[in-house]
Chain A
Amino acid sequence: LGIRVSAMRAMLVIWSGLIVTGLVYYSIVGLTHH
């Protein structure tokens, strides 16, 4: 069960990481007039 939960958490980390990276990165791009 522990392995399954950690695999599910890994998916959460991957997707959250993608979204946060995209939002923050392009906010900075827009703000710094790139």
Chain B
Amino acid sequence: MRRFLRENSLSLFFLVIFLAALVGQALTGHSEYNHEQVAHGEATISLGRYVTSSSFGRAVMENWQSEYLQFMLFMLATVWLLQRGSPESKPPGKEGREDEREQKIGRHAYSDSPLWARTGGVRTAIYSNSLLIVMSIIFFGSWFAQSLTGWTDYNQQQMEHHEATVSWLGYVGTSSFWESTFQNWQSEFLAVGSFAVLAVFLRQRGSPESKPVGARHEATGEEG
């Protein structure tokens, strides 16, 4: 049990703080929602009703989609693009998808490599992009879920204000949908871009996300 906790501590730690933050969002979001309801002379709702509402779902989904977009784009961009000196970048000259030997696929795979890395053909082609494929599915899935919950939430507000409701396609064309989308995207791109540059010059001793403390600023793709 102790070994299980230690060997999975990174994902377990994030699982615990994810759930804690989600509970925090639910409690504070519920309080905020009911304040608004009272201010507008509308009925308040229970916590259970709030967490199963489009209002809460929209808030959760719009943050999810931007995180997955960030990871997806970063993973894809670092195949071809470089930042000299960054631990997250490949060194100049290594741009691109690399050959089968470097990627240990097909006849260059080890005997205990994943099966789909060994077989070659379509299966290896799929497995070679599987992380990107799944991250994209989660990104588009959560963006779609944001659009559905946002649509319902938007129409509920329209009805409260005695204004016309819109179709899903109509909602996807509103500035409301795009504002909440860009609001989340800009912060992700800022964080990723600045991290790539800050990590050229700054260090965190012991972290694989950083270069070793004594590494030269020019050293690229060297992880701690």
* Residue positions of A touching B, CB distance < 8 A: 4, 7-8, 11, 14-15, 19, 22-23, 25-27, 29-31, 33-34
Contact = CB atoms under 8 A, between A and B. Distances in A.
A15 B152 contact: no
A7 B11 contact: no
B210 interface: no
A29 B57 contact: yes
B152 A29 contact: yes
Contacts of B138: 19, 23
Contacts of A22: 60-61, 64, 142, 145
A33 B15 contact: no
Interface centre among A8, A15, A26 (most CB of B within 10 A): A26
A32 to B, nearest CB: 8
17 contacts: A7-B7, A8-B8, A11-B12, A14-B15, A19-B64, A22-B60, A23-B138, A23-B141, A26-B57, A26-B58, A26-B60, A27-B149, A29-B52, A29-B149, A30-B54, A33-B54, A34-B53
Contacts of B141: 23, 27
A30 B57 contact: yes
Interface string B153-169: 00100000000000000
Contacts of A19: 64, 138
Given A14-B15, A19-B138, A34-B52, A26 B8 contact: no
A27 B4 contact: no
